[in-house]
Amino acid sequence: MVLMSQASQSHGIRTEILLCKSSVNNTSAFRPRISTITFPWDSSSKSSQKMHHVDAIGVKSKRGNQVIVAASPPTEDAVVATDPLTKGDLVGYLASGCKPKENWRIGTEHEKFGFELKTLKPMTYGQIADLLNAISERFDWEKIMEGDNIIGLKQGKQSISLEPGGQFELSGAPLETLHQTCAEVNSHLYQVKAVAEEMGIGFIGIGFQPKLERKDIPIMPKGRYEIMRNYMPKVGTLGLDMMFRTCTVQVNLDFSSEADMIRKFRAGLALQPIATALFANSPFTEGKPNGYLSMRSQIWTDTDNNRAGMLPFVFDDSFGFEQYVEYALDVPMYFVYRKHKYIDCAGLSFRDFLAGKLAPIPGEYPTLNDWENHLTTIFPEVRLKRYLEMRGADGGPWRRLCALPAFWVGILYDDDSLQKVLDMTADWTAEERLMLRNKVPVSGLKTPFRDGLLKHVAEEVVNFAKDGLERRGYKETGFLNEVTEVVRTGLTPAEKLLELLSIFPPLILNKL
């Protein structure tokens, strides 16, 4: 995942936290210890005596002429805490993401399925490794290794990674404009296509694997996924489908203060079902219509409800960084990364870890790296790290990869549009928000809502986004054309695919 809000090399948490003071919540709970915490990448901090350097695995190495970086994330073993963290430190970590508006950026992530053009079989790990190696050598990407296996690439602030079933993901750099974002998408797709075509490999942008059964999907050799694969069937019926058969596109956006974070979080959660409808693109399972417009979204309703969903507490008056930490502490863990290995902690408590009582590593305390890793294993419709992730959209083709960030930037990065959304949704009840979340995967923009259809709300919201982009002054409104067409016709991408199936069934079925 792209990291949007890193502390600079000359600032620890205390400096960053000053930007995040807010009258909305009492922040005294995390003030006392802020001056004594340092991030491992903050080499200039005078507080570094709190940490003891044990293994700098993030340092680059070379094998022959190849540049290689350590397994992602690269700093798990770089530090261990000699003084236990407190809840205040965890709150401070989130608050350190605050940045002034002029430094807000856009980070876009998207996944896609790869397959053999001749057989339509999914790429094996061996083929994926060949693809990654070729992209690295041809386009000057650094290789990310886990043991002897290549599992990703890194170039500047961009990274390419593998999801559990071999879904190919670009985590884009934090960029200033949508033009830069779309250029990044173009460059990535060009590079992947240039190499993949020579290998007889193609890619499809869609939200759910349209043809293959789960048993036909190859398993990627990443330690964290083995732990998740064993745990998922214990907490839901669709978790393995989520891991191996879904693809998404998401955008990561910044906030300036705790109050700003709260406003954006609430708007993002309220509108996430609309984004799901606008980008619904997964109507097929194993070569047949599955009864859903977004099967990917439906899968999240029974993956692991302890770590997914609409987070109604975000709308409580008491909500802020501290309340999100309380929530995250109660989300069961997956793993801890130590000495280049993933230690299975599935279902255990980060609260116990904070107290040095985590059974697999008793007496050991977490670092901020452990906290960061834990936050990546939480999967609500909007996720808070040191930025906000909008997570409700299906994967899709090029134009929609640029349209999703345009939709959210136009709303969340413009004060007027954001306020209009908050005013519009202020009296939506938790029950209504949940109803939309549950019905949109089936009925999309045709979902009944109050006195009309969700389509009518979506039309207004897309206009808010367009107005917000115009006020930004970068001539970015054209990136909304895809979603403007969806709300005009009321037909989601999934419904258009289903129409094609009714007209050209043999052609469409053979392509799935």
Q: What is the DSSP letter of 311?
A: -
CA–CA separation, 96 and 462 (whole Å): 31
Tell me the CA distances in angstroms from 304 to 238, 332, 489, one per residue in order.
8, 10, 35
End-to-end CA distance of the chain: 29
Task: Tell me the pLDDT tens digit for each residue of 191-224.
Answer: 999 999 999 999 999 999 999 999 999 999 999 9
Residue 270 in tokens: 């309220």
Residue 152 in tokens: 């990703």
Q: Select the more confidently predicted residue: 427 or 76.
A: 427
pLDDT of 226 > 50? The answer is yes
**What is the pLDDT at residue 99?**
98
Model confidence at 502, pLDDT cuts 50, 70, 90, reads confident
Q: Select the more confidently predicted residue: 290 or 511.
A: 290
pLDDT of 141 > 70? The answer is yes
**What is the pLDDT at residue 505?**
62
- Altogether, the residues listed in the chain come to a count of 512
Residue 80 in tokens: 């261990």
Q: What is the rounded (10 degree) CA torsion for 405, 408, 410, 415?
A: -140
Average pLDDT over residues 85-113: 98
CA angle at 493 for the pair 489 and 496, rounded to the nearest 5°: 75
Tell me the average pLDDT of the chain: 87
Task: Tell me the pLDDT tens digit for each residue of 294-314.
Answer: 999 999 999 999 999 999 999
Rg (CA), the chain: 22
Instruction: Give the burial string for 408-426 (b: 16+ CB within 10 Å, else e).
Output: bbbbbbbeebbebbeebbe
Residue 338 in tokens: 């130590």
Model confidence at 507, pLDDT cuts 50, 70, 90, reads low
Instruction: Give the burial string for 179-199 (b: 16+ CB within 10 Å, else e).
Output: ebbbebbeebbebbeebbeee
Average pLDDT over residues 447-473: 98
**What is the pLDDT at residue 50?**
35
CA–CA separation, 478 and 427 (whole Å): 32
Helix (H, G, I), strand (E, B) or coil at 175: strand
Predicted TM-score (pTM) of the model is 0.88
Average pLDDT over residues 72-83: 51
Task: Tell me the pLDDT tens digit for each residue of 239-286.
Answer: 999 999 999 999 999 999 999 999 999 999 999 999 999 999 999 999
Helix (H, G, I), strand (E, B) or coil at 224: helix
Model confidence at 83, pLDDT cuts 50, 70, 90, reads confident
Beta strand 248-253 pairing with 284-285? unpaired
Instruction: Write phi, then psi, for 252 (nearest 5 degrees).
Output: -110, 130
Q: Select the more confidently predicted residue: 27 or 221.
A: 221
**What is the pLDDT at residue 142?**
98
Percent of the chain past pLDDT 70, that is, above it, reads 82
CA–CA separation, 259 and 321 (whole Å): 10
One-letter identity of residue 489: T
Instruction: Write phi, then psi, for 487 (nearest 5 degrees).
Output: -75, -30
Q: How many CB atoms lie within 10 A of CB 507?
A: 10
Helix H segments across 255-394? 258-278, 295-299, 321-330, 350-354, 368-375
CA 477 to chain centroid: 24
pLDDT of 49 > 90? The answer is no
Cis omega before residue 210 (within 30°)? no
CA–CA separation, 76 and 191 (whole Å): 30
CA–CA separation, 466 and 276 (whole Å): 18
Model confidence at 501, pLDDT cuts 50, 70, 90, reads confident
β-bridge partners, 335: 344
List of residues 6+ apart from 492 with CB closer than 8 A:
277, 278, 279, 280, 281, 293, 444, 445, 486
DSSP string, 74-126: TTTTTEEESS---HHHHHHHHHTT---GGG--EEEEEEEEEEETTT-PBPPHH
CA–CA separation, 91 and 30 (whole Å): 6
Average pLDDT over residues 421-437: 98
pLDDT of 182 > 60? The answer is yes
Model confidence at 62, pLDDT cuts 50, 70, 90, reads very low
CA–CA separation, 490 and 51 (whole Å): 56
Residue 296 in tokens: 């990917």
> Tokens 């987070």 map to which residue?
311
Average pLDDT over residues 366-390: 98
Residue 318, burial from CB neighbour count under 10 angstroms (0-12, 13-18, 19+): exposed
Sign of the dihedral defined by the CA atoms of residues 483, 489, 495, 496, in that order: negative
Query: Quick check: 361 and 338 in contact, CB under 8 A?
Result: yes
pLDDT of 510 > 90? The answer is no
pLDDT of 187 > 80? The answer is yes
pLDDT of 25 > 60? The answer is no
Report the candidate in 178, 185, 182, 124 with the shortest Cα–Cα distance to residue 160: 185
Average pLDDT over residues 54-60: 35
pLDDT of 81 > 60? The answer is no
DSSP string, 164-181: TT--EEEEPPPBSSHHHH
> Tokens 């995967």 map to which residue?
441
CA–CA separation, 509 and 512 (whole Å): 5
